[in-house]
Structure 1
Amino acid sequence: MWRKSLLALSTFALAIGATTATPAQAAAYPTSTFYTSYGNNVVKGKITWYNKSAYIEGTIKSASECRWAYVEFRNGRDSVGRWFYPACGGDSRSFSDKFDTPYAGGFTHAKVWIGNEVDGVRWNGDQCRRTSSTCWDL
């Protein structure tokens, strides 16, 4: 009797083990970290590169007047850019957005500037490549 119970218990344990799946590990996507400043104004954050898109998240800090972050993503075929809402008068503001492209492989590089949307001026910036975890001055 105990052999039947042991056999039944072993069969049950094997069945449970066979149907219990471990969670799939998330794919590791490349990231790039940027930091650029103009005086005491700062734009910093991270870009995550996906197959047909890129996601940017960051913070802009203004020392006094309003300052904007401008981001432009490029590949060999298209360019997508936009201004992010300003930080003004010593404030910090977070920003994030997803940029899409219809082309496989996604964007190859990005440029992130600190500037003034009112007159379209871009002062200092960083350039980031999909293949590098850090960005460098433009």
Structure 2
Amino acid sequence: MRRQTAAAVAAVSMLAGTIGLTPAAQAAYPTKSFDITYGATYARGKVTFYNRSVHVSGVERAVPSSGCRFVEVWTYNASGDLDFQAEVGGTCNGVVDFNVDVAADAPGGASYVVVKFWYRDSSWNNQRVLTSAKVLRP
């Protein structure tokens, strides 16, 4: 009898794991896409808004004739004040993935995010913002 009970408990545990009975892990958070294109280069991805942070993931592309590219993410609270910023990615040739978590330490998290697409020369001495996208919390 003990053997059958242990087997039944194991079977139920395995079933619960396979059908995903973990409500916290299944919570949906608001997500918004962005697409920044500058000539033949781009940064594309999505922003996921959490209660005290944002997660930004995507891809960026650079071509050798256009210099290096990188992405910077800035979070803003409901008053429009800058909370935090983070630099991510960076390529001088090709397509690279990027992922970054940025704090948004305000009640309810960030109201919006600004994703900036930067240029740097290959010596990394000269740099400037090429363009940016404001991503509003849905």
Considering the TM-score relative to the shorter chain, is it more than 0.5? Answer: yes
Identity %: 23
Query: Post-superposition shift, 1:108?
Result: 0.5
Larger radius of gyration: 1
Q: Is contact 2:74-2:82 (8 Å) kept?
A: no
Alignment gaps of 5+ in structure 1: 1-11, 132-138
Aligned to 1:23: 21
Aligned to 1:43: 43
Query: Post-superposition shift, 1:40?
Result: 0.4
**1:1-138 correspondence to structure 2 within 5 Å:** 23-25=21-23, 26-64=26-64, 65-75=67-77, 76=79, 77-89=81-93, 91-117=94-120, 118=124, 119-131=126-138
| TM-score (norm: length of structure 1) | 0.72
Q: Structure 1 CA distance, aligned partners of 2:95 and 2:130?
A: 18
Q: Structure 1 CA distance, aligned partners of 2:133 and 2:74?
A: 11
> How many pairs does the alignment contain?
115
Mean Cα deviation higher: 59-68 or 40-49: 59-68
Q: Deviations over 1:18-69 (max 9, x none)?
A: x987714411110010000111010000111011111110111002221111
Query: Post-superposition shift, 1:120?
Result: 4.0
Q: Structure 1 CA distance, aligned partners of 2:36 and 2:108?
A: 27
Q: Structure 2 CA distance, aligned partners of 1:92 and 1:115?
A: 15
